[in-house]
Amino acid sequence: MSSNDPDVTVVGAGLVGLALAVSLARAGRSVTIVDRNGIAAGEARSDMPWDARVYAVSPGSAEFLRALGVWQQLSSDRIEAIEAMEIFGDAGGRLHFSAYELGERALAWIVEHRELNAALVAAMRTDPNIEVVAPCVPTAISWSADSAELRFAEGSPLTARLIVGADGVHSWVRAQAGLLHAPRPYGQTAVVANFDIEHAHRGRAFQWFDCEEGVLAWLPLPGRHMSMVWSAPETLAADLLAAEAGKLSQRVEMQGHSELGKLELLTPPAAFPLSFLKLPTVVAHRLALVGDAAHGVHPLAGQGMNLGFGDAAALSAALAGFGDAVGDPGAPILLESYVRRRAAQVLAMQVATDGLNRLFGERARWLSALRNRGMSVVDALGPLKRMLAQPALR
pLDDT in tens, 16-56: 999 999 999 999 999 999 999 999 877 666 678 899 999 99
Q: Per-residue pLDDT tens for 91-148?
A: 778 889 999 988 899 999 999 999 999 999 999 999 999 999 999 999 999 999 999 9
The least confident of 123-127, 209-213, 339-343 is 209-213
The least confident of 41-45, 68-72, 271-275, 294-298 is 41-45
Q: Identify the structural domains of the chain with CATH numbers, from first to last.
A: 8-357 (3.50.50.60)
Q: Per-residue pLDDT tens for 192-202?
A: 999 999 999 99
Which DSSP letter does residue 260 get?
A: T
Q: How far apart are CA 342 and CA 291, in angstroms?
A: 11
The contacts of residue 110 (CB under 8 Å, 6+ apart) are: 54, 55, 56, 57, 79, 80, 81, 82, 219, 220, 221, 227
Q: What is the pLDDT of residue 45?
A: 64
Measured from the Cβ of residue 307, the count of other Cβ atoms closer than 10 Å reads 25
Nearest to 306 by CA among 79, 116, 69: 116
Which of the four pLDDT bands, split at 50, 70 and 90, describes residue 325? low
The least confident of 18-27, 62-71, 251-260, 312-321 is 312-321
Which DSSP letter does residue 331 get?
A: -
Nearest to 190 by CA among 367, 9, 52: 52
Q: How far apart are CA 10 and CA 273, in angstroms?
A: 25
Q: What is the chain's Cα-based Rg?
A: 21
Q: At residue 86, what are phi and psi to the nearest 5 degrees?
A: -110, 125
CA 362 to centroid of chain Cα atoms:
26
- Mean pLDDT over 63-71 rounds to 97
Q: 145 near 46, Cβ under 8 Å?
A: no
Which DSSP letter does residue 325 get?
A: G
Averaged pLDDT score across all residues of the chain: 92
Nearest to 287 by CA among 379, 177, 175: 177
